[in-house]
Amino acid sequence: MERTVVLERFDVDRIRKDFPILSREVNGKPLVYLDNGATTQKPQQVIDAVVGYYSLLNSNVHRGVHHLSQLATDAYEVTRRKLKPFINAAHEHEIIFTKGTTESINLVASCYGRAFVNAGDEIIISAMEHHSNIVPWQMLCEDRGAVLNVVPINNAGELDMETYCSLLNERTRMVAITYVSNSLGTINPVKEIIDLAHAHGAPVLLDAAQAVQHVPVDVQALDVDFLAFSGHKMYGPTGVGVLYGKEKWLNAMPPFQGGGEMIKDVTFAKTTYNELPFKFEAGTPNIEAGICLAYAIDYINAVGLDNIAQHEQALLEYATQQLLQIPGLRIIGTAGDKSSVISFLVDGTHPYDVGLILDKLGVAVRTGHHCTQPLMDWYGIPGTVRASIAMYNTKEDIDILTAGVQKAAAMLG
């Protein structure tokens, strides 16, 4: 199964050859894939690892003494070991495997909430959150009689930090904020957010689903309490995600689910829970995805997050310049610090119609509210066209996108 790419310099043409789907056609046109905020494509190394697992290793983990089970368990735990330096966690047992960012956030809302949130307590989120970082906290507040406070944004899509400071108080029990907005591309000042929350005794959860594949993330330098992200958005398989949590919080929280693996001893009178990280990993996990996520981490490390960030930032700036030359086009989200997302509208058109025309031209973008309906309501729009960039995208991709949007504007306007 072992196959690792090592790049001495950033070479986008070389990288594209590792992603077989990029060579296919859609509607008779070469595929231009710009829906990376929804999910990224997979390099051949990850695809081979998936086939290799089912061909050579398929077995349950942590349970068997037989050879295949031992091999599968070792391979599964390799991923945890690689995740530790990837986000610079202090301990491997602070890495919890989940189904994805959504489950990671639900885990914290449920388990931390049961232990620490009571009637009259307050939770802070922001106006730009994905539904997965809104609804779990709403559910917790409804269940516990707590209050959900929302940090507003300005027209550029930047957090109102003055209001954030005013919302923090002795009743604040959690601050849950996105690191990078999936709809706007805004990179939030997360270190400042964390330091201010800690000054009031409140822990912070960062939704890093749109961050870890674009920029280096150091949980110890940030001093963040919880961090959530998904494998499928970082060139890995679907169905696996990560929750990082500081040891002190994970030990203080009750389990998320009951069942196998999360127990140490079970009687009908009482159950003793397992140690970290297994306390939060009930049942048979997505073994294949967990193992193969290591290959995605290897790939990102080989290319280099600094190289990726530099390439994507250059494409973001180029795409912004090109798209703004189209009459009537308006970019939603113009923060001074942005990641590789461009959301836009064209006067006289609906995002869905623009997306359909782009699809006919082989260009894959996302249209709609992007699971951020409150954000769209704030802007007073039904949704946007969203082009999201990854390491394998090129200036040619942006040129084809721009020409497609121009054609759509001419047809629909």
Share of the chain above pLDDT 70, in %: 97
- pTM above the 0.85 mark? yes
- Reported as a pLDDT band with limits 50, 70 and 90, residue 152 is very high
CA 319 – CA 389 distance, rounded (Å):
10
Mean pLDDT score, 290-315: 96
Q: What is the pLDDT of residues 215-272, one digit of tens each?
A: 999 999 999 999 999 999 999 999 999 999 999 999 999 888 777 676 677 768 777 7
d(CA 174, CA 201): 9
The whole-number average pLDDT for the span 14-43 is 97
pLDDT of residue 315: 97
CA torsion angle 100 104 110 115 (round to 10): 160
- Using one digit for the tens of pLDDT, what is the confidence trace for 67-113? 999 999 999 999 999 999 999 999 999 999 999 999 999 999 999 99
Rounded mean pLDDT, 341-351: 95
Instruction: Tell which CATH architecture fits domain 304-408.
Output: Alpha-Beta Complex (3.90)
**What residues contact 31, with CB distance under 8 A and at least 6 apart?**
21, 22, 23, 24, 25, 362, 364
Q: What is the mean pLDDT of the segment spanning 303-327? A: 96
Using pLDDT thresholds of 50, 70 and 90, give the confidence band for residue 350. very high
Q: Write the DSSP string, 326-375.
A: STTEEEE---SSB-SEEEEEETT--HHHHHHHHHHTTEE-EEE-TT-HHH
Helix (H) or strand (E) holding 378: helix 373-379
Label residue 9 by pLDDT band (50, 70, 90).
Answer: confident
What is the sign, positive or negative, of the torsion defined by CA atoms of 6, 7, 12, 17?
Answer: negative
* Confidence band for 281, pLDDT divided at 50, 70 and 90: confident
- CB burial class (10 A; 0-12, 13-18, 19+) of residue 25? exposed
Question: For residue 405, what are the CA distances in angstroms to 161, 243, 392?
Answer: 35, 38, 21
Q: State which amino acid sits at residue 230.
A: S
pLDDT band at 6 (very low <50, low <70, confident <90, very high): very low
What confidence score (pLDDT) does residue 373 get? Answer: 92
Q: Does domain 49-301 have CATH number 3.40.640.10?
A: yes
190-230: per-residue pLDDT in tens?
A: 999 999 999 999 999 999 999 999 999 999 999 999 999 99
Instruction: Give the pair of three-digit tokens for residue 317.
Output: 């700036």
Residue 5's pLDDT band, with cuts at 50, 70 and 90, is very low
For the chain, what percent of residues have pLDDT higher than 90? 88
Residue 36: pLDDT above 50? yes
Q: In the predicted model, is pLDDT for residue 2 greater than 70?
A: no
Q: What is the pLDDT of residue 391?
A: 98
Per residue in 356-403, pLDDT (tens digit) is 999 999 999 999 899 999 999 999 999 999 999 999 999 999 999 999
* Average pLDDT score over residue span 52-81: 91
Task: Say what the pLDDT of residue 58 is.
Answer: 92
Q: Where are the domains of the chain?
A: 49-301, 304-408
Question: Residue 3: is its pLDDT beyond 90?
Answer: no
Strand partners, 123: 148, 174
Residue in this structure with the two tokens 């406070």, named with its chain if needed: 149
Q: Write out pLDDT tens, residues 115-142.
A: 999 999 999 999 999 999 999 999 999 9
Catalytic residues: 371
Residue 197 CA to residue 169 CA, distance in Å, equals: 9
Instruction: List the structure tokens of 187.
Output: 């990179």
For residue 1, name the pLDDT band (cuts at 50, 70, 90).
Answer: very low
Token pair 């029990």 in the structure block, residue: 173
Give the C-alpha separation, 28 to 152, whole Å. 44
pLDDT at position 262: 67
Q: What is the 3-state secondary structure (H, E, C) of 269-317?
A: CCEEECCCCHHHCCCCCCHHHHHHHHHHHHHHHHHCHHHHHHHHHHHHH
